[in-house]
Structures are given as C-alpha cells and as structure tokens.
Amino acid sequence: MATTTKQRDTRGLAGQTIGETTICSVGQSHLIYRGYEIADLAANATFEEVAHLLLVGHKPSAEELEQFSATMCAERDIPGTAKDAIARIVSESPNTHPMSILRTGVSLLSHLDPECEDNSPEAELRKSVRLAAKIPTVIGCGQAAIEGRAPVDPDSSLSHAANLLWSITGNKPGDIATRVMDVSLILYAEHDFNASTFTARVIASTMSDMHSAVCGAIGALKGPLHGGANEAAMDMLAEIMEAVEKGQTPAAWMQDAFESKKKLMGFGHRVYKNGDHRAGILRDWGLKYAQQENPDSKKWFDLGDEVQEIMLKEKNIHPNVDYPCGMTYYAMGIPVPQYTPIFVASRITGWCAHIMEQHRNNRIIRPLAEYTGPELTNWNDG
C-alpha cells in the first residue's frame, strides 16, 4: 500500500533559508547582534552604541562613540518643507495613521538628501546615520500636528532615546523613562530576515536607493502581524480590562476568545517557540517604570501577567516582545498609534545595515512560485 508524506507548509517562506548575513543571528534561545547577545546589550550598552555596532560593524571605542553621537545629534533636524508637509497631511487627513505619515516623511527626506541616489558604501553610511537621527523628529512633528500644537526642536543635550520621547510628548523625560526607552530601542533594533527587513533587502537588491528601501520596510512594518502587533496587543488588553471592569474575569474573556478563535495579539513567534527572551527584559523594565513613576499603571502589568499565565496553561504559547511593549509604552503615556513608529526609530538601524550589506554583495532577489491555476486553455475555445 502506498504511503503519502505530508509536505511541510512553506507558505510565507517558513523554515526557508534565503540568504546569509553577518549582522544578526536569531535562534530558539538566542538573539545576537554582530556577536553580542541581546541580554548583554540591554544590560550594558546604550542605543547609540548598538546603532554604531549595527551600522559601522563593530563596538565603538570611546572616541568613535563620541563622534558618532555628535553626528547623530547634528543631523536631527528636518527641513521646514518636510515639517510643513507633515502638518498639512494631518490637517487635511486627520485620520491618517502615524505610520503612513512617517512613510511619507521619509519619502520627503529622500528628495532633500543630496546623496539619495548615491549607493556607495560611504554615502550609504552617512544616509543611515541621517535617517536614524531624523526619524524621531518626523515622528514628533506628526504627533504635534495630531495634537494641534507646534513641534518641539530636537535637543542636542539629550540622548537618542530621551530626544525621541521629547519629540513625541513635548516633555523632558526623567532618567527611568529614558532608560526604559533606550532598552526598548535596543531590543527592537534588529531581527535578521523579518518581513520588513526582507522587504528592504528585496528593494535594495534591484539597486534602488536606501530611502526607497526604507519606505518599503515601513509599509511592511505597519501591518498588525508585524510591527503593528504592539498596538494590537495593547488594544486587546484594553478590551480585556473593560470586560473585567464590567464583571467578567480574564479567564472567562480568554475562554470566549479561544472558542471564537479570536486572534490574540502579542503571543507566539515564528522562531521563538519556547519564548521570546526580549519579552521578559522589557516587561521587567516596564514594571519598574510603573512602580516608580506611575503606580496606577501597574494594573496593566498585573492583568498582563494573568493573561500570559492563562495563555501558557491553555495553549502553551509564550508572549513575544510586542506584548510587554504595549503595557510599557502605555504606562509611559505614549499614544498607542505611535508605538509602531517608535519601532521604526529603532529598527531603522537594522534595516540600513541590511540594505548596505545587500548592496555590497548584490544579486537581485527573485524567487520562483509554484503555479496552481487552471490548465492551459485555448482563448478561442471558450
């Protein structure tokens, strides 16, 4: 009797190795940026150091870090034409998602960057630093327009993480808020051939420019199954909290969700089947912030822990980093729609590192597809 072997589901390129990289290694129990494990970086490095590691290719010396940070500070401002365009977009289309504003902002910057069409390694490194420096300003201009206030100017006395918070909120952050944001940026900076990075590499493989590749990556990150998952995870927790306040238990809400096959955001990962170790790092820092700076927000972490325990017990599915991200940013008073743009402010370093790597050893990315459509038919027969 003949037997059949079930083919592995490779939709979405699941389990397929499609290239090599020296930038990042993602495994069941590790996440490594150019030889450094993520927990080590989160505990001991700053985002500026990690950005240098990813973009330049090695851990910076004290002198290199000083120069790199100074360059980023000097490049934070954006031209007035870009600021005016962002304000007009929000004025004429107030429901525009901040990720769409950011995508347009980066596209605008491409027209204002004299090296936009230069794909040489030297020019691309300079463009990478400029993009990393300016994206928080673009985000801040968008949020200011949404709130109907004037945007604040970048503050060169602040670190990248602190300036990002300043740009979004218009308030100078304290030390704990700055550190929490710095850690979150480190955790989100790079993750090998994820959907947005792969998008950037596909675009770069055509020998298109860096700004075009980044715009494509932003479009990919916007989706709720990728970068938008942190927003969706917080929306889910808000829905559960509302149900709890009306008398339903988290367990009952979760059971209803299981029975209706509702997608629960912030759980599961294509690679980390035994848990995303970034999640625990960010959860601990977020809880620390809540306990010190916003005790009322601790209820979100209590609820989050309970929901996580139910998910593990009933489905054996662990949270990913987007799950504690939602609670952490919410405790810090960051508007939910800006969670994914903040992701961009971090991942821009990984994207640009991959774009440069693709350009250095390029071959156009052009996979094949298996045709499953109708059999060949003569047009005049029908």
* pLDDT, tens only, 100-142: 999 999 999 999 999 999 999 999 999 999 999 999 999 999 9
Is the pLDDT assigned to residue 218 strictly greater than 80? yes
Q: Rounded to the nearest 5°, which phi and psi values hold at 267?
A: -125, 145
Is residue 298 within 8 Å of 290, Cβ to Cβ?
A: yes
By DSSP bridging, strand 30-33 and strand 36-37 are antiparallel
pTM for this predicted structure: 0.92
Is the pLDDT assigned to residue 297 strictly greater than 90? yes
pLDDT digits (tens, 9 = 90+) for 21-49: 999 998 877 899 999 999 999 999 999 99
Is the pLDDT assigned to residue 5 strictly greater than 60? no
Let me know if 111 is a catalytic residue.
no
Is the pLDDT assigned to residue 7 strictly greater than 80? no
Q: In this predicted structure, what is the pLDDT of residue 228?
A: 82
Q: In this predicted structure, what is the pLDDT of residue 272?
A: 63
d(CA 202, CA 96): 27
pLDDT digits (tens, 9 = 90+) for 227-275: 788 888 999 999 999 999 999 999 999 999 999 998 888 887 666 667 7
Q: Rounded to the nearest 5°, which phi and psi values hold at 259?
A: -70, -35
| Residue scoring higher pLDDT (14 or 98) | 98
User: What whole-number percentage of the chain has pLDDT above 70?
Assistant: 95
Is the pLDDT assigned to residue 93 strictly greater than 80? yes
Mean pLDDT of 266-293: 86
Let me know if 226 is a catalytic residue.
yes
Is the pLDDT assigned to residue 204 strictly greater than 50? yes
Q: In this predicted structure, what is the pLDDT of residue 2?
A: 45
Q: In this predicted structure, what is the pLDDT of residue 9?
A: 65
Looking at 318, 322, 354, 359, which residue is catalytic? 322
Domains and CATH numbers, the chain: 24-223+337-360 (1.10.580.10), 229-331 (1.10.230.10)
Looking at 191, 269, 318, 354, which residue is catalytic? 269
Query: Average pLDDT, whole number, for the chain?
Result: 93
Q: In this predicted structure, what is the pLDDT of residue 29?
A: 78
Q: In this predicted structure, what is the pLDDT of residue 322?
A: 87
Dig out the tokens for 292 from the structure.
């010190």
Q: Please report, as a single letter, which amino acid is at residue 47.
A: F
By DSSP bridging, strand 36-37 and strand 24-27 are unpaired
Place 4 in a pLDDT band, splitting at 50, 70 and 90: very low
User: What whole-number percentage of the chain has pLDDT above 90?
Assistant: 82
d(CA 145, CA 214): 23
Looking at 77, 97, 118, 226, which residue is catalytic? 226
Let me know if 269 is a catalytic residue.
yes
d(CA 251, CA 310): 7
